[in-house]
Amino acid sequence: MSGFGALCPLPLRLGGRDATTSWTSADHAAAVRDLVLVARVTPFAHLVVTRTGSAVAVTRYRGVNGSGSTAAPTITLATDTLHAVYPMAWDDERGERREVSITQAVATPANATQGPVTTTINASSGRVRVSVAALVDGGAVQITVWGCYLDAAQIADYDGATDKTDSETEAEPYAATMLAMLRDARGSGFTRSRGGLVHVENLALARAHGATWRRAERLACAGNPALALETAEDWRKVLGVRRRDGDTDATLRTRNAAKLRAMLGATRQTVDDAVAELLGPLYVRTWRNYGSETIVDDNTGTFWPGINPGTPTSDLGGGAWYSDRQHIVVEVTRSARVSDAEFAAKMTDLVELLDLMLPATCTFDWCTGADDGFTLDEDLLDEGCLG
């Protein structure tokens, strides 16, 4: 449905029946994705500093945090070296506190008088200092800085999530549906025009009913850990899911949902579904050492006394036998956009989930390659299977 206004107020509901009046989940995902991509490479600020005698002044400033001298960093001059000191946080134009970390800077001459300059950057005491050496009297330098502010943007900032989809329940605004129903329900003695008291009453009732329908839908979502937002924390506690620093609503929902699936039992399908739900786009497939085989088929690595002797090293003694039928490997993929911390957290979640779901006789591991082989541990060096 999407849209803002009397019959479709915020929140925006993605999807709809008509491309001319709606915004789909794919549209939203593209906008969110590209905004994040562009934000990552956007400089934090440009500024021009001019020196006159021993005085320095910011003559131009434009940054992510605003424009003009009020947004500019504090500058000082020590001999011929300019220091621009950035704090670690700003309030954005909506008054929201945003942390920033300046990590790169480059200074260039900005008038005919100024010769080449050199730039250094260092952080201490909660501030970042950009130093520019060889600023001459009458000279000017332009400094461009990059840092984590917008480039730390993530799709979740804009309610983006990898499981976003179009609304199937409110493809037509609830209030619009109700308004049509109310008009039809009125007798022929009531006007159907868009002006007048009848329309006002219909509209007010339609909006009220629309809100009620939304509440009912929200209540239904609250009962599903994959969709619960207001009750996500309750689900987390009930299911015993750990909260991590930096968790987004979407990651918590997926962990809650995967944990609930684990309670359905360790069938092949439920394991695959739970793992796929947890990992999202990181999941490739689950590898098993059996397919349509029956248990009587020999399997490499199986030691079954009297049937498949296997290698002596597979004999656990006392008639116990070993089989890699009970071993599964979850193949995952990772892209540059996934940080080491995010990836490690996901893999930890995966290990916890499989440990919970699978019977004690089953072993498991994960890998980032589909080659035959084994993984040693979770060290980045060993993400690929060593064949």
Partner 1 sequence: MTTTPNGTPAWTRATDHTFYGGNVNKRNYQDEPIVNPRTDVSANAIQRMAADLAAVARMADFCNIAFSASAAGSSVTVTACRTMAGILSGSYAGSSPPAGFPSVTHVSASVLSIAIGGGYSDDYSVNAVFAPAFAGATCTSGTYATKAYVSGTAMVMVESGTSSGAYHVWIA
Site for partner 1 in 19-48 (CB under 8 A): 25, 28, 31-32, 35, 38-39, 42-46, 48
The DSSP output letter for 149 is T
Residue 93 binds partner 1 (CB under 8 A)? yes
Distance CA 175, CA 181 (A): 10
Judged by CB under 8 A, the number of residues near partner 1 is 70
Report the residue from 91, 137, 249, 297 that binds partner 1 according to the rule CB under 8 A. Answer: 249
- Min CB(106)–partner 1 separation in Å: 8
Residue 334 binds partner 1 (CB under 8 A)? no
- Min CB(147)–partner 1 separation in Å: 12
Residue 339 binds partner 1 (CB under 8 A)? no
One-letter amino acid at 130 equals: V
Residue 91 binds partner 1 (CB under 8 A)? no
Alpha carbon separation from 372 to 34, 220, 268, 271, 287 (Å, rounded): 37, 44, 21, 21, 10
Q: Are 252 and 243 in contact (CB under 8 A)?
A: yes
Placement of tokens 């947890």 in the chain: 278
Burial of 261 (0-12, 13-18, 19+ CB in 10 A): buried
Which helix (H) or strand (E) segment holds residue 184: the answer is helix 174-185
Placement of tokens 């490479």 in the chain: 41
Nearest Cα to Cα of residue 51 among 145, 144, 143: 143
Site for partner 1 in 348-387 (CB under 8 A): none
Residue 227 binds partner 1 (CB under 8 A)? yes
Report the residue from 123, 180, 229, 295 that binds partner 1 according to the rule CB under 8 A. Answer: 229
φ, ψ of residue 26 to 5 degrees: the values are: -70, -40
Map residues 155-174 to x or -, x wherever contact with partner 1 holds by CB under 8 A.
--xxx-x-xxxxxxxx----
Strand partners, 129: 85, 122
Kindly list the residues in this chain that would bind partner 1 in the complex (CB under 8 A). 4, 9-15, 25, 28, 31-32, 35, 38-39, 42-46, 48, 60, 62-65, 67, 92-96, 108-112, 114-116, 140, 142, 144, 150, 153, 157-159, 161, 163-170, 211, 214-215, 217-218, 221, 226-227, 229-230, 249-250, 253
